[in-house]
Amino acid sequence: MSEMFCYQCQEAMRNTGCTAHKGMCGKPADVANLQDLLVYLLKGISFWGSRGRGMGVYDDEADLFVAQALFATITNANFDPERHIALIQKAIQLRDSLRVRAQERCNQLHQSNCTGTGPDWAGWQPENYEIETLLAKGRTVGVMADPTLDEDVRSLRELIIYGLRGIAAYVDHAYVLGARDASILAFMQEALDATTNKDFGVKELLGVVQKTGEFGIKAMALLDQANTSRYGNPEPTQVNLGVRPGPGILVSGHDLLDLDELLQQTEGTGINIYTHGEMLPTNAYPELKKYSHLAGNYGGSWWKQSKEFTAFGGPILMTTNCIVPVKEAYKDRIFTTGMAGYPEVPHIADRKPGEQKDFSAIIALAKTCAEPEELETGTIPIGFAHNTVLSVADKVIEAVKSGAIKRFVVMGGCDGRHKERQYYTDVALALPQDTIILTSGCAKFRYNKLGLGEIGGIPRVLDAGQCNDSYSLIVIAQALAEAFDCSVNELPLSFDIAWYEQKAIIVLLALLSLGVKKIRVGPTLPAFLSPNVTKVLVEAFELKPIDTVEADIAAMMAGA
């Protein structure tokens, strides 16, 4: 048996799976195995949660925990084994509490089969919580634990789980801001439970995949509502790329509330706050950009953070996933919070009810640091989420009717380290001048600073925000389809999606659930898609791998 097996991200070794002592993302084998065990136990919570819910037994804490714990297993979120051990302990505690309550209710209803601990994932108990004990179990419950499992069933089960991880990220962000939708949390347990059902073959699991996409849209809409109700609709904004005099704190990840509270706690201190990576779009929210010490964006994509964090010189706050193995050059000034974690890196605890997180340690450190090293100057435009684009929909529609805009190309998704991702820069540069790029996610860093110009005052790169904001692209596409009285597939609209981790997977499933066809996915198709599952998606949705820049542009401009 290999030390680990993981093929959840695009950088899986040889596009097959990481099997050594460390994954390509930097995740060590012990964390990989602990995550396998944690997901196994979340299936146990889902076993009792789904059955209990059918008898009127509810547990809000357990429901939200499933989402939070799944978020911790997303690529590049949490590399800390101690944090995973704590999550495993809590998973067992919540699972067993649900079991007791469900069985008590079962007896009250005079039903049969009200005893026992259920299948192994619903009842397994460790002798202790020593890491070696947990690792021994984790090695037996991973993706490849059952070599006799049908390849296509395994593929679809993992596709569902990875889609759920993407939903989990959206839900966690939304719930932090007070948004609630119990149906999403209930579905997550229903779907996890379905991945253990031995009677579910390809047909049944494809149904769950479809439903996962549908609930992905619900989760995106929930987060969109949470963000905009708290911080206003993003508005077109030119974001500063340079630095200001004075010390700074660099905020990376995705969490808006963490940034908000840090801005409040640093107001008037002389400390500048800079965004990094997927935090770039936060500069467009009215209730965040009102802070004069929100100084702009520093650096680019997540995978460049080793160089950029070193150059920054001040403290860094990682609010969510996209952390890479931490270098000694900045290990003494990086902090994690939320579901993010890294060994021997200080973690800022969750906020207590009615209180803010305590950022005093990172603020105190910032006061001792010099201003950041400048990496670049100038500005870039952001803030083209659905509210902004739809407010000028008549202008966009007229540009399409007049022929000024020939085609929209959705180039959202993830960025990554592979040199093959130069493809997306080359596509952006080679697209005809009468095309508009719609983007969200960190894929934008491949082309958002190229100065691609405008069409009648409309920027040729319309940045809708984070990967979390992909909902905006769906809303825009549906609004255009309604305006032209046609389906999304009949619009002058092409999809050329880059993927890296599981939030891109749920975006893909969301699009498929809407019946969107001819989506190009790259730089590779996911390793967890078996040949037969890939064939099904190709036949049903005309899903395509990317080809050459020239071939893909020609095909997209022809509507193929």
**Residue range 343-348: mean pLDDT, rounded:** 98
Distances (CA, A) of 457 to 365, 396, 431, 452, 526: 44, 10, 18, 12, 38
> How many Cα atoms are found within 13 Å in the side-chain-facing hemisphere of 27?
35
Q: Note the pLDDT of residue 22.
A: 93
Check pLDDT > 70 for residue 1. Answer: no
Q: What is the DSSP letter of 296?
A: E
Direct distance between the N- and C-terminal alpha carbons of the chain, in angstroms, rounded to an integer = 44
Check pLDDT > 90 for residue 129. Answer: yes
Helix (H) or strand (E) holding 348: strand 347-348
Q: How far apart are CA 471 and CA 507, in angstroms?
A: 8
Residue type, 90: K
Pairing of strands 237-240, 379-382: antiparallel
Q: Where are the beta strands (DSSP E) in 171-227?
A: none
**Residue range 381-408: mean pLDDT, rounded:** 95
Q: How far apart are CA 160 and CA 194, in angstroms?
A: 9
Alpha helix positions (H), 484-530: 502-513
**Confidence band, pLDDT 50/70/90 cuts, at residue 26:** very high
Q: How many of the other CB atoms lie within 10 Å of CB of 524?
A: 15
Over the range 162-181, which residues count as b (16 or more CB within 10 Å of their CB) and which as e?
A: bbbbbbbbbbbbbbbbebeb
Cβ-proximal residues to 197 (8 Å cutoff; 6+ apart), any chain: 204
Distances (CA, A) of 169 to 186, 206, 222: 15, 22, 12
The β-bridge partners of 436 are: 408
Q: Cis before residue 245, ω within 30 degrees of 0?
A: no
**Mean model confidence pLDDT for the chain:** 96
Q: How far apart are CA 139 and CA 225, in angstroms?
A: 40
Check pLDDT > 60 for residue 310. Answer: yes
**Residue range 518-531: mean pLDDT, rounded:** 96
Q: How many of the other CB atoms lie within 10 Å of CB of 455?
A: 17
Q: How far apart are CA 178 and CA 454, in angstroms?
A: 38
% of residues, the chain, pLDDT over 70: 100
**Confidence band, pLDDT 50/70/90 cuts, at residue 513:** very high
Query: Residue 37's closest CA among 124, 164, 159?
Result: 124
Q: How far apart are CA 496 and CA 512, in angstroms?
A: 14
- Tally DSSP H helices, then E strands, for the chain: 19, 16
The β-bridge partners of 519 are: 495
Check pLDDT > 70 for residue 320. Answer: yes
Query: Residue 385's closest CA among 435, 436, 440, 428?
Result: 440
| DSSP assignment of 192-225 | HHHTT-TT--HHHHHHHHHHHHHHHHHHHHHHHH
Q: Are 251 and 349 in contact (CB under 8 A)?
A: no
Exposed/middle/buried for residue 51 (C-beta within 10 Å: 0-12, 13-18, 19+):
buried
Query: Residue 273's closest CA among 220, 219, 215, 312?
Result: 312
Which value, in Å, is the radius of gyration of the alpha carbons in the chain? 23
**Confidence band, pLDDT 50/70/90 cuts, at residue 460:** very high
Per-residue pLDDT tens for 274-287?
A: 999 999 999 999 99
**Residue range 104-127: mean pLDDT, rounded:** 94
Tokens of 247: 């010390």
**Residue range 127-149: mean pLDDT, rounded:** 96
Tokens of 261: 């509270």
Q: Note the pLDDT of residue 113.
A: 85
Q: How far apart are CA 393 and CA 321, in angstroms?
A: 34
Check pLDDT > 60 for residue 81. Answer: yes
Tokens of 253: 């990840």
Residue type, 248: G
Q: Note the pLDDT of residue 507.
A: 96
Which 3 state secondary structure label does DSSP give 222?
Answer: helix
Q: What are the φ/ψ torsions at residue 174 (nearest 5 degrees)? A: -65, -45
Check pLDDT > 80 for residue 157. Answer: yes
Distances (CA, A) of 376 to 165, 315, 372, 546: 35, 19, 11, 32
Query: Residue 318's closest CA among 369, 269, 275?
Result: 275
Q: How far apart are CA 399 and CA 394, in angstroms?
A: 9
**C-alpha angle 283-288-290 in degrees, rounded to nearest 5:** 100
Distances (CA, A) of 57 to 63, 101, 176: 12, 7, 24
